Amino acid sequence: MKADASQPSVDAGGVAFVTTHWSVVLTAQGQSPAAAEAALEKLCRTYWRPIYGFVRYEGYSPAEAEDITQGFFALLLERKDFQSVRQEKGRLRSFLLASLKHFMANERRNAMTLKRGGGRTLIPLEALHAKDSVEFERNDTLSADRLYDRRWAVTVLDRVFTRLREESAGAENASLVDRLSKLLSGEPDQPSQAEIGREFGMTENALKQAFYRLRQRYRQLLREEVAHTVATPAEIEDELRDLIAALRS
């Protein structure tokens, strides 16, 4: 399988399943370790927040959690042995959590702080500090694993809405897309469709059509984002169901 995310392979629910970042890692052979490492690093940069959140929930301070997060991803990438990844198969979400638990157990026994990779900073954690104490405080109603899954689901949705807004950047209807995206995301205190229609001078029917098109594109992008974290098209629906369940927990 070529490491070209533009090459479709199998159609999955109306969306072509392509050679995704995770499938590149899973199918890495001796001739393509560089492509696998690049794909894994991209995924780590995208999905570091659930990892950091899990570590924080386990009782580590922000500084300790940053070291553990950076050390975990550095070790994952420095290992350059994707045999264990291929054996894991399936979903990136499950693989990373299982690997993190193993890593943390080893580090507890080692009792040494985890700055690996020669000080290499893989993940831009600086943006955490403003809201760290609120976002990652312990929630006694959910387990660390459930909170990890919820944070993963939120990260996927954030990626989707970022892509929606990037697609409309500079377009004539960019403000409308931004407003409808917030409505679609379920953010609180948003105006109704009727109010948005009046704001943009649109008829009810025209606004409904615009919202319908945006919702269709949202669903397509959501499937694409999930596809990047599973090994086969058959796993997309199951992962979507799990993410929805995590958000509702």
> Under 8 Å CB-to-CB from 83, ≥6 apart: which residues?
none
Q: Which two tokens stand for residue 83?
A: 């045999």
In a domain, 1, yes or no: no
* Contacts within 8 Å (CB) and 24+ apart, 134-143: 135/53, 136/52, 136/53, 136/56, 136/57, 136/65, 138/57, 139/57, 142/249
| pLDDT over 90, % of the chain | 24
237, pLDDT greater than 90: yes
Look-up: residue for tokens 């990652």? 136
| Of 24-33, 143-152, 208-217, minimum mean pLDDT range | 24-33
pLDDT confidence bin for 128, thresholds 50/70/90: low
Give the residue from 89, 78, 119, 71 showing the smallest Cα distance to 28: 89
> What residue numbers bound the domain in which 173 lies?
8-248
Report the relative pairing of strands 8-12 and 15-18 from DSSP bridges: antiparallel
Judge whether 217 lies within some domain.
yes
Give pLDDT, residue 13.
Answer: 46
Q: What pLDDT is attached to residue 133?
A: 47
Minimum mean pLDDT range among 21-25, 48-52, 105-109: 105-109
pLDDT at 5: 36
Predicted confidence (pLDDT) at residue 138 exceeds the cutoff of 60: no
Domain count, the chain: 1
State the average pLDDT over residues 138-155: 84
Backbone angles phi, psi at 17, to 5 degrees: -80, 120
Is 53 within a domain? yes
Choice among 28-42, 84-98, 131-145, 193-207 with the minimum mean pLDDT: 131-145
Look at residue 27 and tell me whether its pLDDT is greater than 80: no
Quote the CA–CA distance of 34 and 40 in Å, as a whole number: 10
Domain-embedded: residue 25: yes
Per-residue pLDDT, 219 = 93
Q: Considering the chain, what is the average pLDDT of its residues?
A: 77
Asked, for residue 187, whether it belongs to a domain, the answer is yes
